[in-house]
């Protein structure tokens, strides 16, 4: 991807901000980050997890890799566990960890929902920057 990190972060934030349901935010955010990974690894046929593996080979940030793996696990739980709550402490801990460890320009009021949106936008920007 040849767009600036800040523009990508803003685009991801704006796209996800339209959704009010945290489940949809996780699903759409996962897809957006997968698009960023695809632009880096160059293979649309790979699974999200396989794209993380390819990204890991070129990244010097274990934190980013771990954050991607955790996001993938959250998305899988959402898709496969009917009792999974998208506003659970696990989701919030992931979002807070991303926002604490990734430099991120935007700082708006952060509700549970918007923290997840900001975390996905920050992660997308950081992955783009590393790739």
The string of pLDDT tens digits covering residues 108-120 is 667 889 999 999 9
Sequence-ordered strand ranges (E) for the chain: none
* Mean pLDDT value of segment 96-109: 85
Which pTM was predicted? 0.93
Closest-CA residue to 87 (of 22, 35, 30, 31): 22
Cα angle vertex 61, ends 56, 67, to 5°? 80
Q: What does the pLDDT read at residue 104?
A: 87
Q: What does the pLDDT read at residue 108?
A: 66
**Which of 28-37, 71-80, 97-106, 107-116 is predicted least confidently?**
107-116
Closest-CA residue to 122 (of 61, 75, 78, 77): 61
Residue length, the chain? 131
The string of pLDDT tens digits covering residues 76-85 is 999 999 888 8
> Would you say residue 29 has pLDDT above 60?
yes
């Amino acid at each position: 991807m040849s767009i600036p990190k800040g523009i990508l972060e803003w685009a991801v934030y704006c796209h996800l901000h339209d959704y009010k349901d945290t489940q949809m935010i996780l699903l759409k955010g996962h897809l957006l980050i997968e698009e960023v990974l695809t632009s880096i690894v160059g293979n649309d046929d790979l699974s999200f997890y396989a794209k993380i593996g390819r990204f890991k080979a070129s990244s010097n940030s274990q934190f980013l890799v771990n954050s991607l793996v955790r996001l993938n696990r959250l998305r899988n739980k959402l898709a496969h566990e009917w009792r999974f709550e998208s506003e659970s402490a696990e989701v919030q801990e992931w979002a807070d960890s991303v926002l604490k460890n990734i430099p991120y320009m935007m700082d708006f009021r952060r509700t549970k929902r918007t923290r997840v949106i900001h975390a996905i936008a920050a992660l997308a920007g950081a992955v783009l920057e590393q790739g």
